């Protein structure tokens, strides 16, 4: 599978997630390489480590305001920090799990790790180039970052 096909798998996963979880369409912008710098992260970031045939990390990062509106769309009233962490971790896990169906059992995923804050550290594996997939939903902007070798 070439890199374009792999990124398409993640884009389709994002679109399915929003259609299913919040019953509204999201738009994915043009993916780009984050060359010479780390991709910008937002208020909450859910990370999944990938191992097996490919190694790396996939993470979903979004602003608090977007996650709160997503919870409201899901009929959830608890907007606590813990619930926002659970949501962003669930999103990262779901997106990676959906991709695993297409990549096969050699694509192993970890349990999600969550970091909070725009200055939180995210470790990128050596010899990888982060590909950023911009996501727009309503007026909000999030990113899915795929960093696989």
| 71-101: pLDDT as tens digits | 999 999 999 999 999 999 999 988 888 777 7
What are the pLDDT digits (tens) for 104-130?
777 788 888 999 999 887 877 777 789
* Cβ pair 63, 69 in contact under 8 A: no
Tell me if residue 131 falls in helix, strand or coil: strand
Predicted pLDDT at 144:
95
Predicted pLDDT at 64:
98
Predicted pLDDT at 19:
95
CATH number of 3-148: 3.40.1550.10
Predicted pLDDT at 1:
61
Predicted pLDDT at 47:
93
d(CA 63, CA 87): 12
d(CA 4, CA 40): 22
What are the pLDDT digits (tens) for 21-75?
999 999 999 999 987 778 889 999 999 888 887 788 889 999 999 999 999 999 9
Predicted pLDDT at 116:
93
Higher pLDDT, 1 or 17: 17
Predicted pLDDT at 2:
72
Tell me if residue 24 falls in helix, strand or coil: coil
- 40: DSSP letter: P
The tally of CA atoms less than 13 A away on the side-chain side of residue 35 is: 3
Predicted TM-score (pTM) of the model is: 0.91
Helix (H) or strand (E) segment spanning residue 8: helix 3-21
Higher pLDDT, 6 or 20: 20
């Amino acid at each position: 599978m070439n890199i374009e096909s792999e990124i398409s798998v993640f884009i389709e996963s994002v679109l399915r997630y929003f259609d299913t979880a919040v019953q509204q369409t999201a738009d994915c912008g043009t993916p780009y390489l984050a060359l010479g710098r780390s991709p910008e992260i937002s208020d909450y970031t859910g990370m999944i480590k990938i191992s097996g045939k490919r190694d790396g990390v996939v993470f979903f990062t979004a602003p608090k305001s977007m996650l709160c509106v997503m919870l409201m769309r899901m009929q959830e009233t608890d907007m606590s920090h813990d619930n926002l962490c659970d949501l962003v971790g669930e999103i990262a896990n779901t997106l990676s799990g959906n991709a695993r169906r297409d990549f096969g059992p050699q694509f192993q995923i970890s349990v999600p790790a969550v970091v909070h804050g725009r200055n939180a550290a995210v470790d990128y594996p050596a010899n990888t180039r982060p590909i950023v997939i911009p996501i727009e939903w309503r007026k909000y902007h999030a990113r899915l970052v795929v960093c696989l070798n």
